[in-house]
Amino acid sequence: MQRVDVFPTHEHQEYKLRPGKPFPFGATLAPGGVNFSVYSSHATSCSLVLFEKGAPEPKAEIPFPDEFRIGNVYSMIVFDLDIEAIEYGFRLDGPWDPQEGHRFDKSKILMDPYAKAIGGRDVWGQPPDWDNVYQHRARLVYDDFDWDDDRPLEIPLEDLVIYEMHVRSFTKHESSGVRFPGVFAGIREKIPYLKELGVNCIELLPIYEFDEFEHSREDPKTGRQLVGNYWGYSTLGFFAPKAGYAATGKLGMQVDEFKALVKELHRNGIEVFLDVVFNHTAEGNEHGPYISLKGIDNKTYYMLTPEGYYFNFSGTGNTLNCNNPVVRNMVLDCLRYWASEYHIDGFRFDLASILGRDPWGAPLSNPPLLESLAFDPVLAKCKLIAEAWDAGGLYQVGSFPAYGRWAEWNGKYRDSIRKFLKGDIGMVGEMAQRLQASPDLYATRGATASINFITAHDGFTLNDLVSYNEKHNEANGEDNRDGTNDNDSWNCGWEGPTDDPGINALRMRQMKNAMTMLLISQGVPMILMGDEMGRTQFGNNNTYCHDNELNWQDWALLEQNAELFRYVKTMLAFRHAHHALRNRWHLTGTDTVGSGYADITWHGTQAWNADWSGTSRILAFMLCGKHAHGGQREDNYIYVAMNMHWDSHWFELPGLSEGMQWHAAANTGAPPPEDIWQPGEEPLLENQAGILVGDRSVVVLVGK
């Protein structure tokens, strides 16, 4: 017998209708039709606008009958739609009263905020028809992907090594050698590479649908076209993967292609994190375009000044009103959707401090959105990572409301390591904190609160950090004014590329030093795409606007810098081999297992006697293997000596228990192949009493 609830009750022209379900919002496939549901607190009427895919004009407009509105939600089932062939939008009428926060304009066709696929920018860089009345078009998707037995991997956070990457940049360069460059399928082809490197998590710069043409402009000096939104930190729709990031975007199969990537990464033991941008949208301020939220319910979705202008805590024109309950629910719905429908393992929240502001911009002590995310049942096993600051001056590294769940990008880790690396004095005390996952910042939150990074998409690459003293952002067309001046970088004696073998050798050593410090630190390391092979942005520390070799990974570097790549992947293997480096909780500096050694002890050129003075550039520490994971796991002892002074120094070694001896795991001062050894193949140290650590070098030993 046919279900009664699939009978149409209303008609509009040739369309058969029935009152819809208010939840879930958005377009949902229902028996025989599609359920459309949209919320607006101040609209006076709403219509569903239907297009044939790609057609310039709508083929139908179906007003929601009055009786189809429950509360502030318009919902309607439309029967017999061809799911594959249509695009839809909404047209809302309501007051035009900017001072009151209302900007309704019934001449606009608006995208569903819950659109699960969006047409209009199907192929990256293909110029759109700017006269199109509906630029970004909501489409319908099936949730029929065959996941087999896949689900999020749930790798313990302390065991992750995160690789931050941009979908297009990773394989767009012709040297990538992939069949499908610059897209999800291209990343899938590079999975063997990621496994060889040894990362077990990729964090993708935003993949929610965005418009690469937003803010496009010409460089006034060179005439070169600049892509305003190359990185993608300006969202059109929170539920849709970017079509232009799929080789199949032109066929409307981006959902399948991205899911296939996630599934394949999972099969290879690699988690997928998304960099998500909930602090603002692509609609800009009062001069920006109508795309969706602005015309649907401006006052609900955006933080507005008392005069009705847009607060700008994001630095990009508007601020999403995240602690309005309706917006909060949208964010929750969105993340649940990605976790359940796409099997995403974790999220990194761009400018997350904004999510802790109230609708008038004031920081909340107990922000409901952050709390809801932390306690959400669907997101319960997802990793949540905050960029714990915003463009409005809120800086919460160490104080971000964490609810026992949130980890943070540790900006202080980056700054301390960079300064110590280049030989600044007065850093050893801070270094001791950073190497231990910053207990000064995260005392009660454990080691995994600290996402350690030295470089990220925003700023210098590692190669540039050791090759440039100053930013070189002229190519951005703003006379080098954009981008931070606080780089804490050192060019090793010459600004930019050089043939000087001494300088190049020092740069190589400094990159190895940095990678070593990153990978022997407690906490969760994050590597920037390409740093393992010396990727350069030619001194540009703000490449948000370049769709070219400034961003694209040049895979020829893999051969040119084979020495660096070998070092980094072996150091990654070293990290994965040693539980002592990957503690869940902070070390205590005491012996809690009766091994005769504290879990961590500090040393210098003299064993047991670190030089904490203000002029020191030297620090060494030892991890007691019997304390690994609070004593639950047995590991080797690990000793790390860091000499950031320009002279070599003799380091006296702490003695090991009877029967154990020191072996050399890595020495950045030694020429390859003796700079690093495969775990398990470390040669015995001839002199067990001490070791010479070269100038600006790091030595890692294992005691076994």
Task: Pick from 57, 148, 499, 647 the residue near another protein by CB under 8 A.
Answer: 148
Calpha distance 405→383 (Å, rounded): 8
Calpha distance 328→148 (Å, rounded): 32
Q: Determine which helix (DSSP H) or strand (DSSP E) holds 60, and give its type and residue range.
A: strand 60-63
CB closer to another protein out of 66 and 82:
82
Q: Does residue 54 belong to the site contacting another protein (CB under 8 A)?
A: no
Q: In angstroms, give the least distance from the CB of 115 to another protein.
A: 16
Q: Does residue 261 belong to the site contacting another protein (CB under 8 A)?
A: yes
Q: In angstroms, give the least distance from the CB of 312 to another protein.
A: 39
Pick from 355, 380, 378: nearest CA to 368? 355
Q: Does residue 118 belong to the site contacting another protein (CB under 8 A)?
A: no
Q: In angstroms, give the least distance from the CB of 83 to another protein.
A: 8
Calpha distance 616→426 (Å, rounded): 7
CB neighbour list of residue 168: distance below 8 Å, 6 or more residues apart: 124, 182, 183, 230, 245, 547, 551, 552
| Other CB atoms within 10 A of residue 556 CB | 12
Stretch that binds another protein, among 105-113, 252-260, 462-470, 646-654 (CB under 8 A): 252-260
Task: Pick from 185, 274, 517, 628 the residue near another protein by CB under 8 A.
Answer: 185
Q: Does residue 269 belong to the site contacting another protein (CB under 8 A)?
A: no
Task: Pick from 87, 209, 211, 257 the residue near another protein by CB under 8 A.
Answer: 257
**429 Ramachandran zone, left/alpha/beta (phi>0; psi -120 to 50):** alpha
Q: Does residue 247 belong to the site contacting another protein (CB under 8 A)?
A: yes
Q: Does residue 253 belong to the site contacting another protein (CB under 8 A)?
A: yes
CB closer to another protein out of 140 and 382:
140
| Other CB atoms within 10 A of residue 621 CB | 22
Stretch that binds another protein, among 176-184, 290-298, 382-390, 451-459 (CB under 8 A): 176-184
CB neighbour list of residue 46: distance below 8 Å, 6 or more residues apart: 38, 40, 63, 64, 69, 74, 90, 91, 92, 93
Pick from 397, 489, 395: nearest CA to 442? 397
Task: Pick from 6, 70, 85, 562 the residue near another protein by CB under 8 A.
Answer: 85
Stretch that binds another protein, among 181-189, 192-200, 413-421, 693-701 (CB under 8 A): 181-189
Calpha distance 521→526 (Å, rounded): 11
Task: Pick from 166, 190, 259, 445 the residue near another protein by CB under 8 A.
Answer: 259
Calpha distance 394→302 (Å, rounded): 19
CA distances in angstroms from 648 to 432, 639, 666, 696, listed in the order given:
21, 18, 16, 8
Task: Pick from 123, 251, 505, 689 the residue near another protein by CB under 8 A.
Answer: 251
Check whether the bond before 672 is cis (ω within 30° of 0): no
Q: Determine which helix (DSSP H) or strand (DSSP E) holds 19, and give its type and residue range.
A: strand 15-19
Q: Does residue 6 belong to the site contacting another protein (CB under 8 A)?
A: no
Calpha distance 501→97 (Å, rounded): 67
Total residues binding another protein (CB under 8 A): 26
CB closer to another protein out of 119 and 539:
119
Stretch that binds another protein, among 166-174, 243-251, 374-382, 663-671 (CB under 8 A): 243-251
Task: Pick from 82, 131, 499, 658 the residue near another protein by CB under 8 A.
Answer: 82
Stretch that binds another protein, among 80-88, 355-363, 470-478, 582-590 (CB under 8 A): 80-88
Q: Which long-range contacts (CB under 8 A, 24 or more apart) does 591-597 make?
A: 591/624, 591/627, 592/627, 592/630, 592/631, 593/626, 593/627, 593/631, 595/624, 595/626, 595/627, 595/657, 596/657, 597/622, 597/624, 597/626, 597/627, 597/637, 597/657
Q: In angstroms, give the least distance from the CB of 88 to another protein.
A: 16
Specify whether 387 is catalytic: yes
Catalytic residue, candidates 387, 415, 464, 488: 387
Task: Pick from 67, 131, 144, 681 the residue near another protein by CB under 8 A.
Answer: 144
Distance of CA 139 to the CA centre of its chain: 26
Residue 651: strand pairing partners: 691
Q: In angstroms, give the least distance from the CB of 85 to another protein.
A: 5
Within 521-617, residue ranges assigned H as helices are 557-560, 562-577
Q: Does residue 192 belong to the site contacting another protein (CB under 8 A)?
A: no
Catalytic residue, candidates 350, 464, 547, 675: 350
Calpha distance 106→102 (Å, rounded): 12
CB closer to another protein out of 178 and 304:
178
Specify whether 350 is catalytic: yes
Q: Does residue 81 belong to the site contacting another protein (CB under 8 A)?
A: no
SS3 411: helix
Enumerate the active-site residues.
350, 387
Q: Which residues bind another protein (CB under 8 A)?
A: 82, 84-85, 142, 144-146, 148, 179-180, 183, 185, 188, 246-248, 251-253, 256-257, 259-261, 263-264
